[in-house]
A and B are shown apart, each in its own frame.
Chain A
Amino acid sequence: MEIIIYLIPVALFLGGAGLAAFIWSVNSGQYEDLDGASYRILEDEDKPL
């Protein structure tokens, strides 16, 4: 059972990494335009020749 001494910190670290990513995404404005984002992925960057 000593393994949980490693497992718990690992689990917390992974969870924390997810939380950090979430906070980053909120602060960088990823949720500001939910309507637009869903259309932007369909936008074709390439211009026709």
Chain B
Amino acid sequence: MSMMADTVERGCPSGLAPPAEDRASDFSAFVREAGKEKALSLSVRGAKCGGCLSKIEGALQALPGVTTARMNLSTGATDVRWTGSLDPNRVAQTVRDLGYGVSARAEANDADLHKAEERKLLIAMGVAGFAAANIMLLSVSVWGGHGEMGEATRRGLHALSGLIALPAVIFSGRHFFGSAWSVLRKGKANMDVPISLAVILAFSVSIWATIKGAEHAYFDACVMLLFFLLIGRFLDARLRRRAYSAALDLAALQNRSVNRVSSNGEVNAVRAADVVAGDRLLLAAGERAVVDMTVLDGVSEVDESLVTGESLPRLASVGSKLFAGSVNLGTPLTGQALAGTEDSLLSDIARMMEAGEQRRSGYRKIADRAVSLYVPFVHTTAALAFLGWLMLGAGFEHAIMIAVTTLIITCPCALALAAPVAQVVASGRLFRKGIFLKSGDALERLSEIDHIVFDKTGTLTLGEPELMNADSIPAEVLAMAASLARASRHPLSRSLVAAAGPGQMAANVKEQPGLGLEAEIDGNICRLGSADWTGATKGAAKGPVLWFACGDDAPVRFDFHDVAQAGTRKTVETLQAEGYELEVLSGDREEAVATVSHDVGISQWTASASPAVKVKRLEALRAEGHNVLMIGDGLNDAGALSLAHAALAPGAAMDISQSASDAVYSGGPEKVPFILETAKRAQNITRQNFALAAIYNVIAVPIAVTGHVTPLVAAIAMSASSLIVTMNALRIEAGGRS
């Protein structure tokens, strides 16, 4: 087993895995009874490849009593069922030990609704496709036998087409009819109104033509129209569901358990949602606070980088206030909840995000604008054609036939496919580069960006300070310092350990919160920590420092600095050359922000920015008329991310930030120019597609109005326009930056 543990790689090799968090959540609060079995739904983050799938399922199935363990790689949802007395925390720990993030998954009914909607559209599309193909088979023989086929045979084939079309139109068309009816009752019109009108009228006219034994019936056109439109609808629904499942992860983040201390000193695990103001809570080492609280007992260092962006931990002692999202790095703390989860900072930020998202959904997509022009145009043209032919002395029957063909031929197959196909192709192109797009209209917003705001920690930098002067420190001193540092979760200790490489941990290391570490090595007392702790004299330092002193030896200084990710400077130059204005907006200390901004070549920066300041800055930029792209990873960025015109989050970001952004990318900032370029390209193609659809109508409408549209012409025109639009969208893939 230990052999296996060595050979199994931790986390996802694709690099998208968020850092595994040591989180002491009690999963037993989320177990459901399913018949004789117990079931637990987990949300696994960071699994993006096939290896992850077999690793996770294999490890879970190996647990005693587990009957099924199945993971959905696309969403990360994992269902585990077992019998017997298996501890649910062991299930979660098994996944965590493999290097993935785990939280209990909310059983939301909305998710099923979205899924059902998508399935319905897919089945409707299949039925329409089946009917279209079979009717086309019969229609082609009618067209081919033009002039030779007897009237009885033709009528028989038309009648058969009608029999196939009737259930298909009712079944597949109800999506359009229902929506058209509901807006018509409110006295408005959307795209579904002309669609429904065209389908219903064409179908009725065709029945009439069949009964009379006329030459033309439009059954194939009705069903083909529905088929093409449903393709567009389905692609759209699929993109939207993906966005929705990302939002579910935010809910999963809140599904934590908390250790509540009762009045008699007993510690119980309760669901985070059950915490009320005034509860006494125990925050173990490595645990993240889920509610805002005041410390009642204990002294420890807390990592607030996700709340404030500050890269170094802060000392919390009795009376300090801890915000939800802070991680306890040292010794256990007891605190009093200041509010329930509903009212905590995390929820505040979630609310800020909701407000931002509502504003964003008010954004008018180019497709919507096209439709608002299109709907009155089609109605007017069809009505004028009908009246015109009546006035010219044509019979009622002939006039209505021409009006119907006008409706059918102008109907928006190309229009309905123009945007979704381009979005699907563009998101596929991004996906292969490790970029996950969360909504289709994000591309549209990304293409309008003129100002980019970067967060520093975790976005421009890795958020891990790097040891600068490793070369000037004797190897044995570094090894001794590292043996102490291995006992600590402090980021500086961790980077010191990383610089020293593998080695032993010193025995009996004591941690003094806010000061440093102490242990006895070979009879000497060794200390690692601040200048005061080691008896060193403070000097001027550019970045954070650690001191190490052993016995009577002079203290040795370790210099650290926060390094920008490789290639960031080049990315910044590329973006500046393309005319984007760049800015750094960070919650970290001034000198840290100044150094990094200078290193990467961004002259405009703001330090010590709280979440509220970030939001304010974004509001100000918006008021100046800028379309801002915000790139950030922390909890403190979530509000700003959702306010920005468009937002990106790196793959290692907090879930909440990933939820608030339009796309998540793996790797460093070098992906940003690629994303922006793809978005621009997709937007160009979408515009071209709308232009093509308009040109198509300019050609088709005169033909229809003058009464030259036979079913054959309609079939060719509709499929040709859809094909042209789809082929054009495929050009997004070709060429460009690699």
Shortest CB distance B105–A (Å): 15
> From residue 239 to 292 of chain B, which have CB atoms closer than 8 A to chain A?
none
Closest CB of chain B to A20's CB: distance in Å? 10
- B134–A33 CB distance below 8 A: no
Number of B positions contacting A (CB below 8 A) = 23
Given contacts A33-B73, A36-B53, contact A26 B123 (CB under 8 A): yes
Query: Is the pair B54, A43 in contact by a Cβ cutoff of 8 Å?
Result: yes
B225: A residues at CB distance < 8 A: none
Q: Is there contact, CB below 8 Å, between A27 and B127?
A: no
| B198 close to chain A: CB less than 8 A | no
Chain A residues whose CB sits within 8 angstroms of the CB of B408 once the complex forms: none
Told that A12-B134, A42-B50 touch, could you supply 20 new A-B pairs with CB distance under 8 A? Answer: A11-B137, A15-B130, A15-B133, A15-B134, A16-B130, A19-B130, A23-B126, A26-B126, A27-B119, A32-B74, A32-B115, A33-B73, A36-B53, A36-B73, A36-B74, A38-B50, A39-B49, A39-B50, A39-B53, A43-B53
Say yes or no: is A35 at the interface (Cβ < 8 Å to chain B): yes
Give the size of the chain A interface in residues (CB under 8 angstroms). 22
Bound CA–CA A35/B130 (angstroms): 27
A27–B49 alpha-carbon span in the complex (Å): 25
Q: Which of B140-167 contact A (CB under 8 A)?
A: 160, 164
Task: Identify A23's interface contact among B74, B123, B133, CB under 8 A.
Answer: B123
B54 contacts A33, CB within 8 Å?
Answer: no
Please indicate the chain B residues that have their CB under 8 angstroms from the CB of A49 in the complex.
none
Q: Is the interface of B mostly helix, strand, loop or mixed?
A: helix
* Chain B residues closer than 8 Å to A15, beta-carbon distance: 130, 133-134
In the bound complex, do residue B74 and residue A19 qualify as a contact, i.e. CB atoms below 8 Å apart? no
Q: Which residues of A contact B (CB under 8 A)?
A: 8, 11-12, 15-16, 18-19, 22-23, 26-27, 31-36, 38-40, 42-43
Chain B, 78-97, CB within 8 A of any chain A CB: none
Q: Which residue of A lies closest to B48 (CB)?
A: A35
Q: Which of B50, B122, B130 contacts A26 (CB 8 A)?
A: B122
* Closest residue of B by beta carbon distance from A16: B130
Interface residues of B (CB under 8 A from A): 49-51, 53-54, 71-75, 115, 119, 122-123, 126-127, 130, 133-134, 137-138, 160, 164
Q: Are B130 and A18 in contact (CB under 8 A)?
A: yes
Q: How far is the CA of A27 from the CA of B515 in the complex (A)?
A: 61
A23 CA / B115 CA spacing, docked (Å): 15
CB distance from A18 to the nearest CB of B (A): 7
State the Cβ distance, B476 to closest chain A Cβ, in Å.
Answer: 44
Contact A35 B126 (CB under 8 A): no
Q: Which residues of A contact B74 (CB under 8 A)?
A: 32-36
Assess the A12–B164 pair: CB atoms within 8 A.
Answer: yes
Q: Are B75 and A19 in contact (CB under 8 A)?
A: no
Residues of B within 8 A of A35 (CB): 73-74
Contact residues in A for B75 (Cβ distance below 8 Å): 33
Cβ B134 vs Cβ A11 within 8 A: yes
Residues of A within 8 A of B164 (CB): 12
Chain B residues closer than 8 Å to A43, beta-carbon distance: 50, 53-54
List the A side residues contacting B138 at CB < 8 Å.
8
